[in-house]
Amino acid sequence: MAESRSAVVAVGPDRRPIATTTADAPNVKARSVGAREKTAARLLGSTANKFYDAEVDIDWDAPLQEGKGWMPEHRISLYGTELWDTLTPEQRIELGKHEIVSILSFGIYAETFLSANLLRVFGRGTLSDHSLYAIAEIGEESRHSIMFGKLIEKAGLRPYLLPRTSLFWVKLGQFLPLGPATYGVTLLIEEVLDRGQREAMNDPNMQPHLRQLMKIHVLEESRHITYAREEMVRGMQATNRVNRALHRVILAAAANVTYPLLIDPRVYRSVGIRPWRGIRTAVRSETYSANMQFVSEPMVRFFHEAGMLDGVVTRWLWRMTRALPADIT
């Protein structure tokens, strides 16, 4: 691990402190996307210099901390509802734990899906820096999935496995031709997790193992987001009007499928609430819209700038997600 660190944040059970600054946040602009090979060379250099491995960079033997949470309260799905008022402080922490485990379980599926796409990029056989970076990123996603699995184990829970029908749709996505829609779906997964993690990783009320996981993930995902953002824009620029419309609609439809997969309704059983009642209450709440808009905002603004939200059907589908900020309707 190179020593070039812009800021060191004190953390809990870490073996090497991790630099996480907002300067690491990807700031790719749709109008100023760089040359593909130049970006890839830069990302390859960064991958070699700034990386972590949760096997050694998180002290898994350290105990969990009593009373610390797993999600900031205001991001827990039932926050602010009448059901929330019935929960004890311990039950609120327990629900947050199950929700983060649900999100990380989905994260493992999602990273496998993204890695399969990246393998297709490498499989084109050009051996350019762009294709080499694709497998460098697979290496990182593999470490992330192991890290997510270890965190779930540390939380003392089983992963939330996707129901067969949901898994079918995820698998079907791997047959889509690589293009703006697939890179858009990549961003949908990576940016939503990134936004939530940036908020929680510096919260001293969160479990230290989780904070360390989030710092590692945020730092490395920044490169992935740059790669996918630029590739999505290049793909849109390189194709015709009909294809652009098609990719926009596919991405918007995928958004409607992806967001609901994050929280498995079975999480509510952990606090004695029937799954259907829990999810119905959560989806109808103001917290739902607030959370959707919060986790999606940087990505949605980028999509807007890149023209990915244009078109009547596309915009209608995006409105259904309730993730659009007030000034983009």
Residue 212 CA, distance from chain mean position: 16
CA 279, 162, 68 angle in degrees (round to 5)? 60
Query: Using the rule CB under 5 A, is 224 a contact of Fe ion?
Result: yes
Query: Using the rule CB under 5 A, is 198 a contact of Fe ion?
Result: no
CB of 144 to Fe ion, least distance (A): 4
Residues 248-307 that bind Fe ion (CB under 5 A): none
- The residue among 211 and 224 lying less far from Fe ion, judged by its C-beta, is 224
Q: What is the dihedral of CA 40, 141, 115, 235, to 10 degrees?
A: -40
- The residue among 221 and 231 lying less far from Fe ion, judged by its C-beta, is 221
Residue written as token pair 């479990």: 207
Q: Which stretch binds Fe ion (CB under 5 A): 66-74, 217-225, 277-285, 300-308?
A: 217-225
| Distance, CA of 44 to CA of 139 (rounded, Å) | 12
How many other CB atoms are found less than 10 A from the CB of residue 128?
Answer: 16
| Distance, CA of 110 to CA of 87 (rounded, Å) | 31
- The residue among 83 and 104 lying less far from Fe ion, judged by its C-beta, is 104
Q: Which stretch binds Fe ion (CB under 5 A): 70-78, 84-92, 164-172, 189-197?
A: 189-197
- The residue among 92 and 209 lying less far from Fe ion, judged by its C-beta, is 209
Q: Which stretch binds Fe ion (CB under 5 A): 94-102, 172-180, 190-198, 258-266?
A: 190-198
Residues 107-136 that bind Fe ion (CB under 5 A): none
Sort 62 into a burial class: Cβ within 10 Å, 0-12 / 13-18 / 19+. Answer: middle
Residue selected from 50, 75, 98, 144 as contacting Fe ion according to rule CB under 5 A: 144
| Distance, CA of 204 to CA of 169 (rounded, Å) | 37
Give the binding site for Fe ion (CB under 5 A): 141, 144, 190, 221, 224
